[in-house]
Chains A and B, each alone.
Chain A
Amino acid sequence: MIPRHLLIGVAALLLLVVSMGIYLRHMRRQAGQFESSAADALPVTPPASGPTETVTLYVADDAAGALRPRAAQIPLPGGRQQRAEELLRALLRIYQQPGALHPLAPAADIRSIYLVDPGAAVIDLNAAFADQHRSGILSEQLTVNSLVETLALNVPGVNRVNILVEGKTRETLAGHADLTESFDVITVEQAGNQ
C-alpha cells in the first residue's frame, strides 16, 4: 500500500509539470509575437502628407527607347521641395516594381532635391542608384530624361537640372550619361521628341 502522503506528493508534482508545460508554451507564443512585431517596427519611408493630386510622370520604356507620360495620383505636400521629392519617389516606385519596363535597383533612392536660384534644381541620388544602375547609353539617358522631364513638368519654374550622387558630382551615371553638366530642360524635352 502506497502511503497517502506520497500519492498526494506525486499528484502535486504531476500538476506542477503540466502547469509548467502550459506556461512554457504560452511563453514561446509570446516570444514569437514579440519577434514578429519587432520586425514590423523597422523604419519605413515616411508617408507623404498633403492632399492627393493627379500628376503626370514621364516613365521610361527601354524597349521603345522613349518616355511615356503616365498619370498618377499621389499625395503631395505643399512645399516645392517636398513636392519635388515625392514626385521623383513616385517615379522610382514604378521602376522598382517587378516587371518594370525600365528596372532600377530596389535600393535606389532620391536623397534630396534642392531648388536653388531661380530656375535651377539639384537632384541628389543615393549611391545605390548609380552603383547598381545598368550600364548603357540608352538606359542611362532614359533615366536622366525621365527625372528631368518629370521634375520640370510638375515643379513650376525649373529650367535646368543638375544631378549629384551622395552629394557629390559624379562623372557619369553608370559609365555613359554625363552628370558633370547642367541639363537644359528644353534641350532634354526636344531630344525626347525626336
Chain B
Amino acid sequence: MRWSNKNSAQYPVPSFQRKAGCWVLSTGYWVLLATVTLLSAAPAAEEKHISVYSPVAIYTLPVLDRSGREYVGLLELLEPLGRVSSQSEGQRWKLRYNAVDAEFVAGKTRAKIHGRNFDFAAPFLIENSRGLVPLASLNALLPRFLGTSANFHESARRLFVGDGGIQISFQLDASNPSRLALNFSAPVNPTISTEPGKLRMAFKRDPVVSPGSQPISFANKVITQASYSEDNGDAELDIAANEPLMANFSNDRRTIVVSAVPPATPPGIGGTQNPAAAPPAATIASGNSHRVLAVVDPAHGGDERGAALTDQLVEKDVTLGFARLLRHELETRGFAVTLLRDGDTSLTLDQRAAAANVARAGIYISLHAVSQGSGARVYTALLPVEGTNKGAFHAWNAAQAPALPVSRIVSAAIVAEMQKSEFPVHASSASLRPLNDVFMPAVAVELAPGEDGIADLTSANYQQRAASAIADAIVSVRDRLGAQQ
C-alpha cells in the first residue's frame, strides 16, 4: 500500500474560504504550540508503574487511574510472557493467550476465561481498543492465563509471576573495620547512592523480596540498621551508619559488602571513581623493580583510514604521530613500550588484541582522534553480554572484565593529569574493540581539537602536552599494573 499527500485539485476552493481556512489552521497551530510548550514546562508528577518479574522477562508498565482505581493494559501485561492477540468488537474485547481464550465486556465485572466465569474487583474497561483490568484483580486473574501462581504486592505495585524472588540475608563482621555482607540468592544489580548517615540500594529490575517486616538493627558502632521498603514498582534497601559507607560487589554480584570508607585514598589516584565500584587494592610488585610493558596502539592504518578530520587529514595519520610521542614520554619514565604499528600498516582488531595479550603487557592504550568537540575523552570498555567462560579461559568478547576496575583507575588518573594540564577531558565507557578483548588494564584516548581548532591535532606542542599528561598518569598508577614477566 502506498500513502500519498496528493492535492485535491479537482475541487476548487473559493479564495475567501481558503483565507478563512488558513486563518483557522494558523490559529490552531499557535494554540497547539503554546499548549505543548506549557505542558512540557510543567513539572511532571512521578508516573505510576507496575513492575513484573517472571522467569522469562522483567519489565515495567504504566498504571492508569480510572474512577479512583488503578488499571493496567492486559495485552501489554501478557505480551512479554507468551503469544497473545486481541480483538475489539464494540463493547466486547476478546483475547487469546497461548491456548487460553477469554472474552470481556466493557463496564462489566464478569468475564469468561477458558469457558469459566471470572469476577473482577472493578469493571473491565476498553480504551482505544485496549483492554484495561483493575490491578486489584491480578492475583486471581493471571493464574487463569499463565497456569502458574502470581504474587502481587499491590501497595508497591510489584508482581511476581511463578515461584521466585531474590532473598536477602545479612552477615555482620564486627571486626575493625566493620563490614556488613549482604548475601542474595541470585545476582543483583542495584543502583547505589550515598547520603549522610545512609547507603541506599535501589533495586529497579531485581525481584528482591523483603527480609522481614521490621528494620534489622545491628549491635555495632558503625553500621546500625538495615531497612527494606518497596514502592511504585521498585524495592529499596537502606543501610544506616555513623560513618560514610562504601559498597563492593563480589561472588558474581550475589554478595555486596558494605563497609566504612577508609580515611585516606591511595596516593596518586585522583578523579571521579565511585567508591562502590573501587576494587580491592592490587598486590602487584612495585614498578620500581620491574619494567612495565605498555602497548600503545595507534588506531586504524593502511586501507582503514578512520575519521576524515579535514579534506587532507585522516585519523590514522594523527594517531600514529601521537603514538610515537607517547612512546617517547613513557620510555623516558622507565616503561618498556611496544607500538602495534609504526607505519601505515593494516591490522585487524583481533590481531591488535592478540598482540597485546601475547606480550602480556601491563597496560594497553589505544589512541584515536576526532574533529568534533574539544580536549580529550578517555574510554574504558563497555562490556557486551558476556560469552561463556571455559574454566581458566575467559570469553574473548569480555576478556577485559577482570581488569576493568584497574582500567577505570587508570582512566581516572589520566583525567586528573590532563585536567592539571588544562585539557577539557571526560571519562566514559564505549563498546570499542579491542578494549573488550584484552585482559590487562586498557583505555582508549580520543584526542579532539584544542583552542586553535583542528590545527591542534597535528600540532607537536598540543600532542606533546597530551602525551606527557597521559604518561604522568600511568606513572602514578604504575603499582597497579602488571610487571613485565
- Interface residues of chain A, those whose CB is within 8 Å of chain B, are 33, 36-37, 40-47, 50-51, 62-63, 65, 71, 73, 78, 80, 118-119, 134-139, 141, 144, 156-160, 171-172, 174-178, 180-184, 186-188, 191, 193-194
Stretch at the interface among B4-12, B117-125, B164-172: B4-12
In the complex, per-residue mask of B54-66: 1 if CB is within 8 Å of any chain A CB, else 0: 0011111100000
- A residues near B308, Cβ cutoff 8 Å: 135
Contact pattern, B 388-432, Cβ under 8 Å of A = 1, otherwise 0: 000000000100000000000000000000000000001111111
B80 contacts the other chain (Cβ, under 8 Å)?
yes
B96 at the interface (CB under 8 A from A): no
Assess whether B40 is in contact with A194, with CB atoms less than 8 Å apart: no
> A136's contact among B3, B4, B384, B446, by CB below 8 Å, is which?
B446
- Closest chain B residue to A47, Cβ basis: B3
Is there a chain A Cβ closer than 8 Å to B76's Cβ?
yes
Q: Does B352 touch A at the CB level, under 8 Å? A: no
Which residues 187-244 in B have Cβ within 8 Å of A in the complex?
A: 189, 191, 205
Q: Which of A139, A157, A181 contacts B397 (CB 8 A)?
A: A181
B2 contacts across to A, CB distance below 8 A: 43
B431 nearest in chain A by CB position: A178
- Report yes or no: B315 in contact with A135, Cβ–Cβ below 8 A: yes
* CB of B256, distance to nearest CB on chain A (Å): 15
Cβ B444 vs Cβ A137 within 8 A: yes
Q: Are A118 and B56 in contact (CB under 8 A)?
A: yes
Q: What is the minimal beta-carbon distance from B34 to any residue of chain A, in angstroms? A: 15
Compute how far the CA of A191 lies from the CA of B277 in the bound complex, rounded to whole angstroms. Answer: 13
Q: Could you tell me the distance between the alpha carbons of A182 and B79 in the complex, rounded to whole angstroms?
A: 22
Contact A136 B432 (CB under 8 A): no
A-B contact pairs, 11 of them (CB 8 A): A41-B6, A43-B4, A80-B79, A136-B370, A136-B446, A141-B431, A157-B58, A175-B300, A177-B432, A184-B383, A187-B382
- List B residues 115-170 near A (Cβ within 8 Å): 127-130
Are the C-beta atoms of A178 and B79 separated by less than 8 Å? no
The 0/1 profile, CB within 8 Å of A marked 1, for residues 353-375 of chain B is: 00000000000000010111100
Are B76 and A36 in contact, with the CB atoms below 8 A?
no
Highest count of chain A CB atoms <10 Å: which of B58, B129, B429: B429
- Give CA–CA (A183, B385) in the complex, Å: 6
Complex Cα–Cα for A73 and B37 (A)? 12
Are A156 and B4 interface neighbours, CB within 8 A? no
Query: Nearest-CB distance from B100 to chain A (Å)?
Result: 19
Judging by beta carbons under 8 Å apart, are B382 and A137 in contact? no
A135 to B310 CA separation, bound complex (whole angstroms): 12
**Contacting residue for A138 out of B44, B349, B397, B446, CB 8 A:** B446
Q: Report A-chain residues with C-beta under 8 Å of the C-beta of B313.
A: none
Cβ contact within 8 Å between A191 and B189: no
Question: Please, which residues of chain A bring their CB within 8 A of the CB of B61?
Answer: 156
- Whether A178 contacts B433 by the Cβ 8 Å rule is yes
User: A194 near B427 (CB under 8 angstroms)?
Assistant: yes
CA distance A178 to B437 in the complex (A): 12
Q: Does B75 contact A (CB under 8 A)?
A: yes
Compute how far the CA of A40 lies from the CA of B9 in the bound complex, rounded to whole angstroms.
Answer: 11
- Top 9 nearest A-B pairs (CB, nearest first) are A156-B59, A181-B384, A157-B80, A135-B307, A191-B429, A157-B57, A136-B370, A51-B128, A157-B59
Inter-chain CA distance A191–B401, complex, in Å, is 15
Q: Are A181 and B385 CB-contacts (below 8 A) given A80-B79, A141-B430?
A: yes
Q: Is the CB of B430 within 8 A of A177?
A: yes
B463 at the interface (CB under 8 A from A): no
Would you give the shortest CB distance from A180 to chain B, in whole angstroms? 8
Q: Which residues of A lie under 8 Å from residue B93 when comparing CB positions?
A: none
When C-beta atoms are compared, the residue in chain B nearest to A52 turns out to be B128
Q: List the B residue with the shortest CB-CB distance to A163.
A: B431
Asked whether A137 and B379 contact (CB < 8 A) given A41-B6, A46-B3, A51-B128, the answer is yes
Q: A134-B307, A187-B383, A194-B428 are in contact. List 10 more A-B contacts (CB 8 A).
A: A47-B3, A71-B44, A118-B57, A138-B430, A139-B370, A156-B79, A175-B307, A181-B384, A181-B385, A186-B205
B183 CB–A CB distance under 8 Å: no
Contact residues in A for B373 (Cβ distance below 8 Å): 62-63, 65, 138
In the assembled complex, how far is the CB of residue A131 from the closest CB belonging to chain B, in whole angstroms?
A: 13
With the chains together, A186 CA to B58 CA distance in Å?
Answer: 12
Nearest CB in chain B to that of A118: its residue: B56
CA distance A141 to B430 in the complex (A): 6
Let me know if A137 and B58 touch, CB within 8 A. no
Q: Within residues 244 to 288 of chain B, which ones have a CB less than 8 A from any CB in chain A?
A: none
Q: Are B432 and A178 in contact (CB under 8 A)?
A: yes
Please indicate the chain B residues that have their CB under 8 angstroms from the CB of A42 in the complex.
Answer: 4
CB distance from A3 to the nearest CB of B (A): 47
- A160 near B385 (CB under 8 angstroms)? yes
Give min CB distance, B311 to chain A, whole Å.
Answer: 15
Q: Nearest Cβ distance between residue A56 and chain B, in whole angstroms?
A: 9
B51: nearest residue on chain A (CB-CB)? A156
Determine which residue in A37, A46, A50 has the highest number of CB atoms from chain B within 10 A of its CB, and name it.
A37
